[in-house]
Amino acid sequence: MHIIVCIKQVPDTTEVKIDPETNNLDRSSAQAILNPYDAHGVEEAVRIRSQFGGKVSVISMGPPSAVEAIKKCIELGADEGYLLSDRLFAGSDTLATSYILTRGILEISRGEPFSMIICGKQAIDGDTAQVGPGIARRLGLPQLTYVKSITGIDQDNHRLTVHRKLEDGYEVVEVKMPCLLTVEKEINHLSYSSFPDMIRAARYRPRVLGAGDLEVDPSLMGIKGSPTTVNKIFPPSRREQGEILQGERAQVVEQLIIKLQHRVMNNGS
């Protein structure tokens, strides 16, 4: 079983700031990390390989510095890593990114067809959750999004059973492989890296593929292939500090009613 996991290097959003003059993300203000949802995708792929055998490959599109995110995946137990990096890829939106990753997946699976592609539910720097479904659409694969657990794998019949997260519960879905999954963080708990994997990750050098290696159409990637434009990025306005009401239940209810009445009166004036 060959499992391909799509991963991304992102700025740590607990540290990222916005430039007040340009309204753009100041990526230099935050440490670059492996997208947390993708880390859980790698963990799940490694667990499946441990049970059923096979190989786990990770693939990422990004600048040369994204090598560090791939090395982190090797530390988590992945077998191979591929970085899609080229100046022609710069400025790609989610549509163009899904195209480039699709071409990369086709390239690395020539000799070893994949059974499953796993993506994190979304990247924490964009929160669009569009790239995984975009890849599935381009490859003509069945896709299962918001997967919270994989409950069964039938290799003989190429079937996979998962629980998909819904707002008010979950649904059980069976799908034929090959397929694409986007996973939630709750699908597993990240395990500690083994010492041999840490040593291997420190020495590992992923294969870097450029536009010339992927047989791509330049009009479908980069700024040319990106219909999305971002006019402005800004932080949400700071909310007023909440107030905790003290006392017995009846007293708290009375205080709340009075405050709500005052608010209604003030808003109406």
- Residue 26's pLDDT is 62
Across the range 36-47, mean pLDDT stands at: 96
Q: Indicate the pLDDT class of residue 58, thresholds 50, 70 and 90.
A: very high
Confidence check: pLDDT of 234 > 60: yes
Dihedral, CA of residue 214, residue 219, residue 221 and residue 222, to nearest 10 = 130
pLDDT at residue 60 tops 90: yes
If you average pLDDT over residues 211-236, what whole number do you get?
A: 85
Helix axes 67-76, 36-52, angle to 10 degrees: 40
Work out the percent of the chain whose per-residue pLDDT is above 90: 74
Q: Taking Cα atoms as reference points, which of 15, 37, 237 lies closest to residue 127?
A: 37
Question: Given this model, what pLDDT does residue 27 score?
Answer: 59
Q: How confident is the model at residue 25 (pLDDT cuts 50, 70, 90)?
A: low
pLDDT 10s digits, 123-176: 988 889 999 999 999 999 999 999 999 999 999 999 999 999 998 889 999 999
State mean pLDDT over 114-126: 93
pLDDT of 39 strictly over 70? yes
Query: pTM of the predicted model, to two decimals?
Result: 0.82
Q: Which two tokens stand for residue 224?
A: 């040319």
